[in-house]
């Protein structure tokens, strides 16, 4: 709602939320909007041209069943769903419509991440062989009714949080992984928390390794009790010709070409300095609202608005939503069963 209010070219005319405190918070941001307690009332109201679904993960499928039956442009936040069965249903419903459906996976629009991806796509690192993402951060924030404390409602941390990262890996490598191996657990966070008698069960750390048919590999290093990290999120892309990295929140990009390093004959002081290395601060001055993702959500909302006005296809599609969730589900399956999981076990 902050993004829409600031970006211009659109206005909020209706809000649906069954949670009264959330309604009141929304009313403060859009005092002229009509309020609904049920999404079906909003969809049938005739008050909107587009709908943004930003509800708890396990509610997406029921809402999408109704939203995708309309001619409205639909934006659904990540993750698309929490089960393979629901993913299949959503894809089937979307196949029957002609209106645009946009998948909310905005991490690709964070300025230093976007530049790192663009450089890799332009061949700056040669053929991409490895992609790694490290996120060392604070625990999950509190949400309404603590819904994000339960795997049953979120799909699991590697779906809820990390679908963003699996999507970035697929974008850089240009494929979906064929197999996944993961190790993780709930080691520190929420161990003593119970809600309605149920213990919180979301994992707070994991390593996930992905293998791709073209021989590339990717790895996620997640720790949600790493508050002291200077750069919480680091994307590293390495090819046979070089390396590019994105750092957040410092919003810097580092790159180097292998050919610029020359031949090293010893390990003396100074011999590891790369004369072709570059360090660059990356910031998009057109971003008017930074939010929590360095302006990425602002950029994505503008792109969604412009696609509606220009009748152009969604830049981020349900395919992105499906593949990112399937990878997360496969990673959880790997942890639970202690084995390598083939993607085809979940999705053909």
Superfamily of domain 109-289+323-343: Dihydrodipicolinate Reductase; domain 2 (3.30.360.10)
pLDDT band at 248; cut points 50, 70, 90: very high
CB atoms within 10 A of CB 108: 19
Instruction: Tell me the CA distances in angstroms from 207 to 146, 204, 229, one per residue in order.
Output: 25, 11, 17
pLDDT in tens, 185-213: 999 999 999 999 999 999 999 999 999 99
pLDDT over 80 at 80, yes or no:
yes
Q: Of all helices (H) and strands (E), which one includes residue 310? A: helix 296-310
User: Dihedral angle at the C-alpha atoms of 61, 64, 69, 74, nearest 10 degrees?
Assistant: -160
Least confident of 84-88, 264-268, 303-307: 264-268
pLDDT at residue number 59 = 97
300 by DSSP, 3-state: which? Answer: helix
pLDDT over 60 at 265, yes or no:
no
Structure-model confidence comparison of residues 40 and 271, the more confident one: 40
Q: Of all helices (H) and strands (E), which one includes residue 91? A: helix 84-95
| Mean pLDDT, range 19-30, rounded to an integer | 93
Burial class (CB in 10 A: 0-12, 13-18, 19+), 339: exposed
pLDDT over 60 at 270, yes or no:
no
Q: Of all helices (H) and strands (E), which one includes residue 183? A: strand 179-185
Domain with CATH 3.30.360.10 in the chain: 109-289+323-343
Q: What CATH number has the domain spanning 2-106+300-317? A: 3.40.50.720
């Amino acid at each position: 709602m902050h993004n829409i209010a600031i970006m211009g070219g659109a206005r909020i005319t209706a809000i649906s939320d069954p949670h009264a405190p959330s309604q009141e918070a929304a009313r403060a941001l859009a005092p002229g909007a009509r309020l609904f307690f049920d999404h079906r009332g909003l969809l049938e109201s005739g008050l909107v041209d587009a709908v943004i679904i930003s509800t708890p993960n396990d509610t997406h499928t029921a809402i999408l069943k109704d939203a995708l039956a309309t001619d409205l442009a639909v934006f659904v936040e990540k993750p698309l769903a929490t089960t393979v069965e629901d993913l299949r249903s959503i894809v089937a419903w979307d196949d029957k419509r002609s209106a645009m459906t946009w998948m909310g996976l905005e991490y690709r629009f964070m300025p230093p991440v976007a530049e790192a991806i663009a450089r890799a796509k332009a061949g700056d690192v040669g053929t991409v062989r490895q992609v790694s993402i490290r996120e060392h951060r604070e625990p999950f924030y509190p949400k309404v009714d603590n819904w994000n404390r339960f795997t049953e409602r979120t799909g699991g941390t590697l779906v809820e949080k990390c679908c963003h990262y699996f999507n970035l890996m697929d974008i850089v490598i240009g494929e979906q992984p064929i197999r996944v191996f993961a190790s993780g657990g709930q080691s520190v966070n929420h161990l003593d928390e119970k809600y309605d008698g149920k213990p919180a069960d979301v994992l707070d750390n994991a390593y996930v390794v992905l293998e791709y048919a073209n021989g590339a590999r990717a790895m996620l290093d997640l720790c949600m009790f790493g508050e002291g990290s200077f750069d919480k999120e680091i994307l590293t892309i390495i090819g046979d010709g070089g390396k590019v990295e994105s750092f957040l929140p410092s919003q810097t990009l580092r790159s180097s070409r292998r050919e610029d390093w020359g031949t090293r004959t010893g390990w003396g002081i100074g011999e590891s300095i790369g004369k072709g290395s570059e360090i660059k601060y990356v910031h998009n001055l057109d971003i008017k609202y930074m939010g929590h993702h360095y302006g990425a959500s602002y950029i994505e909302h503008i792109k969604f608005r412009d696609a509606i006005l220009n009748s152009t296809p969604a830049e981020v599609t349900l395919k992105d939503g499906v593949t990112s969730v399937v990878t997360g589900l496969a990673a959880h399956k790997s942890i639970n069963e202690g084995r390598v999981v083939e993607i085809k076990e979940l999705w053909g």
